[in-house]
């Protein structure tokens, strides 16, 4: 048996004091708390409520009594030798980094079920599969195994926290019924690099997970997914994304489904209470793309709906609303290996140019095809072809918000081609498509700046510091105030307005998170101030 007294004698008091984990665990605790396997009592530094810690090591307990807060109690106890423990006095039971150290836990969970009152919270953290290796660990856990182990007690919630790739943190409120409202749906091919992050980011608010894996997948996508759900199914690719999504929907049992790709993750979760109250069939979700732009797409919808179209599939829906909370981040670089990404891009190119190219030849008024062909060629830096299809779209589309987005992309394409006067022409038409957007003023500022018309450029850049009054489906460029103020400073510098330039560069410095860029901007501001003062002498 592992010698815990020797271990705690040889190691420092706070060796297990992991700030993020303890802060998150403490935030879940409530009322009278018992901490089984408490070690040296690190949790008491974060949870200030009534606390009772127990550990097998007398050395650990002595250290806890000596160094932790005096209104916490600590005692030596080998809980594995107790036939039954009375948990009736406790509101929270903490089993943190404990279960992996013991081979059997039947008596513990039997005692919890028999003696703990309804509503008692059981908090558990364990290494995520092989996420943490240690000689005193005697077994491993997965999310799926923990869900099976705990579900008989009540509703199990897996917490999405910064260390979830290495440690699973979850809790169950005894006697609270399972929700069964929302399923996470993933269609995957060679997503082994990112699928764990994808699933982990959604576990806290999704009640079930269904993963459909392309049967030509060559990596460990399915194996990794099975650590999180039993609902992993292989399917034969039919060159049709809508068919794949509809096939997954047949496996969904909850009223709602959220589609997230295996190389994506959810940065900010949805509000479950708002979802419960929704009368819509589908909700538009924000998606941050690899280039930083934000688009909206109905990824969240009731399970009865179906998709159509082979590529860039469309959800068939009558009542469409907006979810303002959830943010999905598209991240191929960190979510999929390079070889798989290249194969995926090749597949998309062939499908988009082949299927949508045929559609546009058959019907030039097919605005869906012309828009996506424009976006596709734009992403591949073929700006001339992108402009061709964008203009075709504008000729037939009447959809204002989308027209603004397409015309904005035309401006960027012309700027990339060095055709600044054409870029300016289209930039001046943006206001007609959608009024008073900061991005319109900003891109006009870019046009004037490239033309060295700094007076008009700085006017547009300053006006672009305002915020949009209306919500939009498309946000083509992210707001970066440090870059924005730097551009204002550059304009003032070129206008020889050094005092204003200094103010702008200092504001750019204050807005920057990059320490090197921050110092450079600050020094630039100081130089502008020096030049201005020298002029006054």
Distance, CA of 270 to CA of 326 (rounded, Å): 4
Please give the sequence-ordered ranges of beta strands (E in DSSP) within 407-454, or none if there are none. none
Rounded CA-CA distance 146/416 in Å is 52
Report d(CA 479, CA 485) in Å as an integer. Answer: 11
Nearest residue to 437 via CA among 446, 427, 447 = 427
**Residue 135: pLDDT band with limits 50, 70, 90:** confident
In the predicted model, is pLDDT for residue 16 greater than 90?
no
The Cα–Cα gap between 351 and 314 comes to 15
Torsion of CA 183, 200, 230, 93, to 10 degrees: -100
Closest CA to 139 of 105, 165, 93, 95: 105
The DSSP code for 141 is B
Q: Do domains 4-174 and 182-330 have the same CATH topology?
A: no
Q: Mean pLDDT across the stretch 319-345?
A: 93
Highest mean pLDDT out of 81-90, 125-134, 378-387 = 378-387
Length of the chain: 537
* 141 — pLDDT class (breaks 50, 70, 90): very high
For residue 236, CA distances in Å to 5, 205, 244, 250 come to 56, 30, 9, 15
pLDDT of residue 25 exceeding 90, the answer is yes
The predicted structure's pLDDT at residue 536: 85
pLDDT for 287 beyond 80: yes
Count other Cβ atoms within 10 Å, centred on residue 396: 12
CATH topology of domain 182-330: Spore Coat Polysaccharide Biosynthesis Protein SpsA; Chain A (3.90.550)
CB atoms within 10 A of CB 5: 13
pLDDT averaged over the chain? 94
pLDDT the model gives residue 6:
92
Among candidates 286, 282, 283, which has minimal Cα distance to 317? 282
pLDDT at 42: 96
Q: Where are the domains of the chain?
A: 4-174, 182-330
> Between vectors from CA 51 to CA 98 and to CA 91, what angle results, nearest 5°?
85
Confidence of residue 433 (pLDDT cuts 50, 70, 90): very high
Determine the pLDDT at residue 470: 77
* Residue 529, burial from CB neighbour count under 10 angstroms (0-12, 13-18, 19+): middle
For residue 482, pLDDT over 90 is answered with yes
Q: What residues contact residue 288 under an 8 Å CB cut-off, 6+ apart? A: 267, 294, 327, 328, 329, 330
Mean pLDDT of 12-36: 94
Q: Quick check: 181 and 208 in contact, CB under 8 A?
A: no
Architecture of the CATH domain 4-174: 3-Layer(aba) Sandwich (3.40)
Sorted by sequence, the CB contacts under 8 Å of residue 164 that are 6+ apart come out as 128, 200
Contact between 387 and 414 (Cβ < 8 Å): yes
DSSP string, 18-78: -HHHHHHHHHH--SSEEEET-TTTGGGGT--SSEEEEES-HHHHHHHHHHS-TTSEEEE--
CA distance 161 to 146: 17
Closest CA to 197 of 338, 312, 328: 328
Write down the pLDDT at residue 468. Answer: 85
**Percentage above 70 pLDDT, the chain:** 100
Residue 512, pLDDT score: 95
- Please choose, from the candidates 512, 438, 505, 500, the residue with its C-alpha nearest in 3D space to the C-alpha of residue 475: 438
pTM of the model: 0.88
pLDDT in tens, 465-479: 998 877 788 999 999
| pLDDT tens-digit map of 393-429 | 999 999 988 999 999 999 999 999 999 999 999 999 9
Tens digit of each residue's pLDDT (9 = 90 or more) over 154-202: 999 999 998 888 999 999 999 998 889 999 999 999 999 999 999 999 9
- Across 312-324, average pLDDT: 93
pLDDT tens string 59-94: 999 999 999 999 999 999 998 888 889 999 999 999
Instruction: Give the full edge-to-edge strand order of the sheet including 167-174.
Output: 73-76, 51-55, 33-36, 92-96, 121-127, 167-174, 154-158
Q: Can you name the residues that pair with 34 across neighbouring β-strands? A: 52, 93
Q: Give the strand pairing for 182-188 and 167-174.
A: unpaired
């Amino acid at each position: 048996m592992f010698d815990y007294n020797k271990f705690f004698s040889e190691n420092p008091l706070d060796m297990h004091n992991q700030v993020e984990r303890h802060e998150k665990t403490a935030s879940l605790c409530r009322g009278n708390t018992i901490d089984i396997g408490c070690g040296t009592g690190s949790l008491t530094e974060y949870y200030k409520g009534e606390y009772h810690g127990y550990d097998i090591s007398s050395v650990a307990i002595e250290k806890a009594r000596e160094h932790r807060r005096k209104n916490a109690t600590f005692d030596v106890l080998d809980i594995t030798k107790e036939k039954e423990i009375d948990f009736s006095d406790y509101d929270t039971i903490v089993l943190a980094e404990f279960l992996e150290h013991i081979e059997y836990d039947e008596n513990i969970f039997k005692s919890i079920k028999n003696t703990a009152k309804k509503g008692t919270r059981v908090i558990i953290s364990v290494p995520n599969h092989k996420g943490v290796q240690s000689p005193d660990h005697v077994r491993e856990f997965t999310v799926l195994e923990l869900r099976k182990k705990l579900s008989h007690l009540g509703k199990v919630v897996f917490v999405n926290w910064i260390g979830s790739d290495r440690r699973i943190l979850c809790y169950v409120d005894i006697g609270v019924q399972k929700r069964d409202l929302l399923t996470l749906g993933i269609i995957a091919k060679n997503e082994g690099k990112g699928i764990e992050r994808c699933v982990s980011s959604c576990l806290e608010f999704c009640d079930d997970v269904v993963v459909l894996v392309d049967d030509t997948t060559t990596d460990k996508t399915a194996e990794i997914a099975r650590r999180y759900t039993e609902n992993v199914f292989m399917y034969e690719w039919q060159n049709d994304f809508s068919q794949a999504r509809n096939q997954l929907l047949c496996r969904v049992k909850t009223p709602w489904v959220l589609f997230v790709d295996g190389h994506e993750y959810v940065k900010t979760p949805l509000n479950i209470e708002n979802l419960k109250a929704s009368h819509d069939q589908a909700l538009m979700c924000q998606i941050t793309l690899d280039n930083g732009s934000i688009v909206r797409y109905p990824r969240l919808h009731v399970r009865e709906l179906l998709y159509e179209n082979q590529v860039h599939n469309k959800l068939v829906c009558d009542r469409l609303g907006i979810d303002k909370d959830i943010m999905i981040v598209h991240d191929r670089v960190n979510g999929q290996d390079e070889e798989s990404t290249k194969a995926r891009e090749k597949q998309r190119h062939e499908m988009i140019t082949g299927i949508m190219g045929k559609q546009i030849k058959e019907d030039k008024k097919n605005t869906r095809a012309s828009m996506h062909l424009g976006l596709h060629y734009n992403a591949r830096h073929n700006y001339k072809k992108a402009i061709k299809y964008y203009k075709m779209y504008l000729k037939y589309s009447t959809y204002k918000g989308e027209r603004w987005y397409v015309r904005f992309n035309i401006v960027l394409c012309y700027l990339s081609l060095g055709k600044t006067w054409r870029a300016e022409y289209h930039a001046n038409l943006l206001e007609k498509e959608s009024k008073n957007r900061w991005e319109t003023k900003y891109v006009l500022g870019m046009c004037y700046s490239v033309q060295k018309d700094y007076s008009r450029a700085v006017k547009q850049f300053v006006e672009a510091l305002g915020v949009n009054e209306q919500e939009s489906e498309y946000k083509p460029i992210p707001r970066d105030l440090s870059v924005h103020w730097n551009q204002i400073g550059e304009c003032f510098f070129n206008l020889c307005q050094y005092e204003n330039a200094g103010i702008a560069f200092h504001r750019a410095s204050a807005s920057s998170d990059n320490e090197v860029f921050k110092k450079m901007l600050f020094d630039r501001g100081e130089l502008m101030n020096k030049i201005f003062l020298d002029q006054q002498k």
